[in-house]
Every structure is written in structure tokens, then in C-alpha cells.
Structure 1
């Protein structure tokens, strides 16, 4: 759902998929982490809107040190920007006319916004919000009164050449805090630059708004909102009076609160006046929030996913029963899993690689063969190594998670598995392509067996880092990143 609440601005439902612009100049980018070329339309469309806003902040933050993406046609790093309709595209960091893709005009939108920003900083609304913040801080004895200052230079660590000038700064107990007033033209470079500098200096950045309307959000507001755990803060006349009356800094907090409606995860906006002492501050991410949206959404998703896993294994077991009729239920489950970007075959017995993966991991967790006529778990291990080596890695980690090493060792009376496993371990260290997981079923592996998926992900990431300098696309890291998305 998306709605244009006021002419000139479009507000996007955070849970909607992000949309690319039509006819973008840059149609393909190189993922510098994996070495994989990606379609821009597919990459942007794979993100939920709120998640893409976070991603564009990460891309911008890394732009000058270790860029995440570059143009597929030239050496320039690229970053994510938005059209006025909040459709996204990539822009060159440097554009000298040598690339066929042209993403900049003589005066870019960022340049225009930057000029407007510096003019607006001296406006009366900006001066007013600074006064309200200052009054609120001085009313709270946990902030040292001599430390509450407006528009004073703040040096980053001991480097006197690097400084910021926060709207209001203060010491809360021993924590340095910078309060910045969010203006309608506060652009992403300002948000990222200040966040990174205050983090380097061991300080905490808190953005304050003069007002907030959930159904009328500019992109500049979204940049702050979604990178701050979906919390925004407002200081106004009422909160200032509360601060001065109660002797404790109060703020108005707006946040997203997720909830379940049937099988769907939905959300609502909540407004609440909170005390500063109730806020959580994270130094590494520079997030300050009252309500932990990420944790609340994760818990709801975890409960829903646990039910889906339970439904899958119940149907899987039932499908092995002669004359069972599970296809209608299987189809419905398949649709639900597809909504979670998890693919399973059209039929339980529709793909031998998938069946082997499921039976192999179930065997590991049960400590005896499941789905085969074998008598021992070690026979399952040999069968997978010989016929389906792409599942060796997952099976090995499942054995470890289920603590079945002694079971296989006891059954390996002739030492055949011991000898074979030594060779397999060496081949895995060398990232033997024949032992890399079947990428088609990686999401199902991670979803159905999350602990095994997490271990496989760590292994692939480590192996991929070792292969990073190869000239070919890093298929190991591609697989690792794909699996991380599901864990």
C-alpha cells in the first residue's frame, strides 16, 4: 500500500517491497563482496521498503572506505538514491562522462538539498526546537547543567582538525550526547556523517524532530526512522513543560508496533510520551529507541515460522504413509513458504536432492536412518557422500548439532567413514565445488533447520573470504550471503 497524502510527497508503507525507477541509467551493479553481477531492478525489488532505507544508509556509510557496489560498466562506486516518488536507483560516486550511464546533472539533487539545508539551519523553527531541547535538559539533574550547550564545537576524539557542532550537546552522567534537530531537508550524507563521527568520538547521537506524521513522511524522515529501530522523537511545548514540572527529560516517541492478524504480520503506529531514562542507547549502531521494533517483529516471525516448520514436518511424515492424501495441504504450505522466499518441490517426492537433504538431516537428529531402509546412521553418511555430495556439509553440521559423532564412530567398525571423512574435510577446506550446497534448496535448509543453516553459513563465509581474491565470481560467498538471508 502506498499513499500520496499531500501533493508533492508520497508516503510508502514500510512493509511494501521497494520499487526501482523505470529506465534507470545503471541497470546492473557488481556486488564487491561476492563478485556477482546483479540486476538493479531485481536487487532493489528484493528488499522491503524499510529494509532498503537501512541498506542505502549502509551503502552510503561505506562509500568512501570499502564500497559495497560499483557500476557494471565503469570503475566508479555507486550508491542508492530515490526519485521524488520514492523509487530507487544507483548513482555514480564519480562521473566524468566516460561511462555510458549518466546519473548526474550539473547540479545534483544532493547539492540543491545541501544548499537549502544550510539556509534552514538559521530559521526560527530551528532556533525554537534548540531552545526547547536546552530547557528540557536543564530541567533534568542527570544532565550536567554546565555541559548543556548550543552550537558549540565538538572535537572528534583528540583530533582537533575534525569537529562537529551539534545543535545541543550535554553530558548525561558520563555519556556525551549530541542532540540534532531533524530538518525537512536533512539529507543522508548529513545523517551518516554525523552518526559516524559521533561514534568515533565515543558519543551518542539523538535526532529530535519538531513534529511527526506517520502518513506523511518525507524520505529524509525515513532515513532517520528506519535506521533508528523505527523510533522517532519529538520535543514540543508539552514535553518541555513535563520535563520542567517533573525534573526529568521527557520526549514524545512515535514507533512501529507489529502484531499478528491470522497468519499475517501487520503493524500500527504508537505515540507515547517517554522519559529519557527509559531509552536504550546503542553506541555501535548509534541507535536510540524506546520500543525495540526489531525484537518484537523477530519474535512474531519466529513464532509464525515455528508453526510453518511444524506443519512441514507433519506433512512430510504423513506423505510417507501409504495411500495418504497430502497434496492439497502440501500446496497450501508451499504457498506460505514461498511468501517467506522458501521453495519446496511441487510434491514431497518431486526432487531427489531435496528428499535426500531432508531425510539426511532428520536421520542425523534422530540418530538412525529416516526415509531409507538402512540399518545404521553411518550408512546414511556413506550414501550422502557417494550419491549426493552437495549435502555432505549440511549433514556433517547436523551430526555435530545433534551430538551424534559417537554414534557414527561406534558404527564405523572398519574405519571406512573415518578415512572418507578425512578426505572430505580436506576437500571442504579447499572449497571443492562438488561439495558446495545445492543453492536451490539453501533457503529451505536454513528455514527448516535454522541451527544447521547458521553453521553452514559461517563455514561458507569463512571459505568465501579465502577465495575472495580469485578472478572469478565468488560462488562460495554468493551461497553464504543467500543462506544468511534466511538464518
Structure 2
């Protein structure tokens, strides 16, 4: 965190987006219930499990769900829906959506959010700064030949197309042949509730909401700016005299986009801030999530993570093929190599056994899936793949499901069948298949190692998870 002066009597905490989110020391709501998973979660632990930028995006999603009466978390004491708020120092805690005194966890002071908002908003929407941003937006739009001039309006009422009693009044609105836009000049006092309400309204209208700032500094960001930034794929827009002049020169609405750009940094991922002046028509749209962006931060993070994850997968598989035959070849080099692999997996939250041979179920899982993948016995000193199948059916039935999916993914199912000359495997399979379908506990995957299976063998893991999520087949 960094403490940035904002004036003679005030200050603002600006947080590194990649740093861990920090809960308040003693939250009133200590535990919450996740309505999706049914888990009771420690509030501080849940908040601390997120990066700062991820928690900001999560709190926006949480408020949107509340607006649609689909809460995802409730207070463990009273069952009231809750959402995430930030303190002055950008430390986080959960707050009841309604507080009537019935719960001993009290998270509000004497003023309601509406009262605070009214005090802060008084006169600001007519401030010169706000008017200046609106003029720049409108000036840029009128320079763009793609926007219909008669649709460019300032402070005009926008009535809900499904409910004539519901309306909004965006700062500026305009329509082109492909999209209708609502532009809002961001104020330093814009509540998250305001942001969420507008996002939901314009999404229902099939329109794109664009929040526009008068200026932006990565090193000085208020909470209200972070709400917009991190819910918009880490992109934020500014209009100024330069962008307006470019819009007029090129007859195309241009904005200044500030965004975060991740990059590979040795064995980790670093990030830097970047900016570009871009045409609104070249921006990428995600109407469902009300996101309009120049640089796909989330996509680039996924790509970089996948590169890193693929290297980790290949490292573990390479180790297994070389050092496990069938038990761990514990040379000093192999011991150190396994220690490093285990440490790297721990960083991404994947547990591995302290010793590769220390858990027979994990060892059998790796042997089974690799054997099915390569079409030959791996680990076990067998001659044929069919022997691996019999070994699993006799001693490790919990991995038959993963073995079967791995055979399908690799195309080696027919190879296994060709080795079943006497039909013994076929008979066994006909016996245990209905038991698997009936969720017999003996044939269910070892849940302890399911995260490792899903990471090292993503397609196999996804199929196993999909099977577990389906309801048991009903007898006819």
C-alpha cells in the first residue's frame, strides 16, 4: 500500500492491484455463509484469499446479485444478505444489506447510505469539473460521423423500454448504427450502489454504459475509481482536450485508455500500467458484463498463467516418467527436484505428497492416467496396458473413472480392448460400470487428489468433475 496526500487535510490510500486484499482487524460479521457452496466461511479468511483487484471485481458482482435479489452470501448469525465494503484505508469487511438491530453484528453508523450520498452529491453534478467532462464527451461524439447527430443528448431522460415508470438520466447518450451508449462522468463520490444500478439498467436496455474520467493516475486511485477499473477488465477511460482534438481531426470519437498489462517475469507474472488513445469503435465489447475495453487484461493473464501451468504439468510428468518405476528413485537429485516441484505446486494451491511414493492412491492415480495417456504401462512393471486395468480393478477402484476418461481422451480405448483376448476385462467392466453409475463409494475418485488430477490432466479432471456434478442415473 502507499499513502498518497490528497490535500491539506485529506489523504487517499492507493493499493497495488496485485497485492493481497486486507480485511479489517475485528469485523462485526465474523462468519458468512456461501450460498453457492453451502460453506461457512471466516470473513477475514475469505477476504484475504483474494488479490486486491479480484476482490474489487467480486464486490461489484456481489452488489449486482443483490440488486437482482440473488444474494451469494449471508450473515452466519442472522441470515441477512451481506456485501463487501471498504474502510477509509481500503480494508474490507462484510455489511448487512439491511440492519434492524436484530443481529448483534452492527455494521452501520447513524447515517444511511442514502443520507450520506445526498450530502456528498449536493451540488457536485453541476460542478465545473463535471460540466467540463460532459462537454468534452459531447464534443467528441459530434465530431464522429458514425453517431447519429439527433441521438446525441445531454442530461436527457432514458426510459426503460419494458417499464415506463423506470428511467435514468445519463450525462450524455448517443447511438450509432451498431450500438447505443450511455456516458457517465465519474465523480469522486460515486457510490458502488450507483455504479451497479446503472450497469444493470443499461444492460437490460441492450446499451453499453461507459464511465469516463477527467483524469487518472495509477498512483492515486480512490475506491470509486477502483470499482470502475477492476470491474472493467482493468481498463479505464479519460477524455481531455487532447483526445477531443484528435476526435475532431479524425472525425472519430477517441478516448484515452489507461490499462494494466501483465508480462512474464522469470517464473512469475509482473504487471505495468500502460495507456493508449483509442477509437471507441475499436474497443472490445462484453455487453453481458457491461465491459468495454481496449486491452484484454483477463485474457492475457489466462494466457500467461496457462503457459506457466503447462510448464508445471510437463515438469511433473517428466519427473514421473524418469523417477517412478514403480516407486520413487530417491537419488539426491530426484529428492531436490521433487521438493522444487512440490513448492511450485503449493504456490498455486495444489497439494502434492511429501514423498512421491508416500501416498499409494496418488501414485496409482499418476500411474493409471499416464498409462492410459501413453498407451503403455507407466510406473508399474507390466508389459501391456490391460495389466494396468486389472491392477486398478483389483486394488485402486477409485481411479477407474479417471483411467476410463484418459483412455477416451487419448484414443487408446480400442488398444485396451484389443489386448482383452479372453474377455476378462470386458466382464469386469460390465460388473463395475453400474456401480460407478450408482455412485458406489468404492469407485468414487479420491477427492484429496482431485485438484492435482484436474491440474495435471485438465481434460480428464474436467470429465471426472462433470461426472460428480451429475445426478445419479435413475433405474428404469
TM-score normalised to structure 1 length: 0.89
Give the distance between the partners of 2:193 and 2:317, measured in 1 at CA. 48
Question: How many Å apart are 1:175 and its aligned residue?
Answer: 1.1
Q: How does 1:338-417 map to 2 (within 5 A)?
A: 338-413=346-421, 415-417=423-425
* DSSP 3-state at the match of 1:326: helix
Which residue in the other structure is 2:14 paired with? 11
2:256 corresponds to: 252
2:37 corresponds in structure 1 to: 34
- Aligned partners of 2:43, 2:434: CA distance in 1, in Å? 38
Contact 1:318 1:326 in 2 (8 A): no
Q: Please, which of 125, 137, 140 is the counterpart of residue 144 of structure 2?
A: 140
**What is the match of residue 279 of structure 2?**
275
CA distance in 1, matches of 2:447, 2:121: 47
Distance 1:118 1:153, change over 3 A: farther
Question: 1:434 deviation in Å?
Answer: 4.6
User: 2:225 is matched with which residue: 212, 221, 225?
Assistant: 221
Bigger shift: 319-328 or 167-176? Answer: 319-328
Deviation at 1:156, TM superposition (A): 2.4
Retained in 2: the 8 A contact 1:319–1:348?
no
Given that residues 384 and 391 in structure 1 are in contact (C-alpha distance below 8 angstroms), is that contact kept between their aligned partners in structure 2?
yes
| 1:328-374 CA-partner distances (Å, limit 9, x unpaired) | 12212221221111221222212112111111110110122211133
Residue aligning to 1:152 = 156
In 2, Cα distance between equivalents of 1:191 and 1:424: 55
Q: 1:315 aligns with which of 294, 303, 319?
A: 319
Partner of 1:169: 173
2:230 is aligned with 1:231: no
Deviations 1:61-89 (A, max 9, x none): 11242211111111211111111121211
Asked whether 1:460 is paired with 2:468, we answer yes
Show CA shifts across 1:139-166 (max 9, x none): 0000111100111111223321222211
8 Å contact 2:321–2:379 — kept in the other structure?
Answer: no
**Distance (Å, rounded) in 2 between the aligned partners of 1:368 and 1:445:** 19
Paired with 2:435 and 2:110, the residues of 1 have a C-alpha distance of 54
Aligned to 1:470: none
- For the pair shown, the structure with the greater C-alpha radius of gyration is 2
Q: Among residues 35, 44, 66, which one is paired with 2:47 in the alignment?
A: 44
Q: CA deviation at 1:173?
A: 1.4
Q: Which runs of 5+ in 1 are unaligned?
A: 467-487
Q: Could you give the per-residue CA deviations for residues 281-311 of structure 1, whole angstroms, max 9, x where no partner exists?
A: 1111111001111121221111122222222
Conservation of the 8 A alpha-carbon contact between 1:20 and 1:88? yes
- Greater relative CO (CA pairs within 8 A, separation 6+): 1
Paired residues in the alignment total: 464
Maintained 8 Å contact 1:431/1:463: no
Structure 1 residue 455, shift from structure 2 partner: 2.4
- Corresponding position of 1:93: 97
Aligned with 2:289: secondary structure?
coil
Paired position in structure 2 for 1:471: none
Q: Which one of 331, 346, 358 corresponds to residue 339 of structure 2?
A: 331
Once superposed, what is the RMSD of the aligned Cα atoms? 2.2
Q: Aligned equivalents of 1:36 and 1:393: distance in 2? A: 27
Q: Please state whether the residue corresponding to 2:288 is helix, strand or coil.
A: coil
SS at match of 1:121: helix
Check whether the contact 1:429–1:463 (CA below 8 A) recurs between aligned residues: no
Task: Quote the residue 2:73 is aligned against.
Answer: 69
The structural deviation recorded for 1:415 is 4.8
Indicate if the aligned counterparts of 2:218 and 2:273 stay in contact, CA closer than 8 A: yes
> Which of 177, 187, 194 is matched with 1:190 structurally?
194
- Distance in 2 (alpha carbons) for counterparts of 1:460 and 1:121: 53
Where in structure 2 are there 5+ consecutive unaligned residues? none
3-state DSSP of counterpart to 2:379: coil
1:104 maps onto 2:112 in alignment: no
Q: Separation in 2 of the partners of 1:234 and 1:130? A: 12
Q: Is the 8 A contact 2:19 2:51 kept in 1?
A: yes
Quick check: 2:261–2:272 contact (8 Å CA) kept in 1?
yes
Asked if the contact 1:148/1:169 (under 8 Å) is kept, the reply is yes
| CA distance in structure 1 between the partners assigned to 2:435 and 2:77 by the alignment | 36
2:275 match: secondary structure: strand
Q: Offset of 1:114 from its aligned partner?
A: 5.3
**Cα contact 1:114–1:187 (8 A) shared by 2:** no
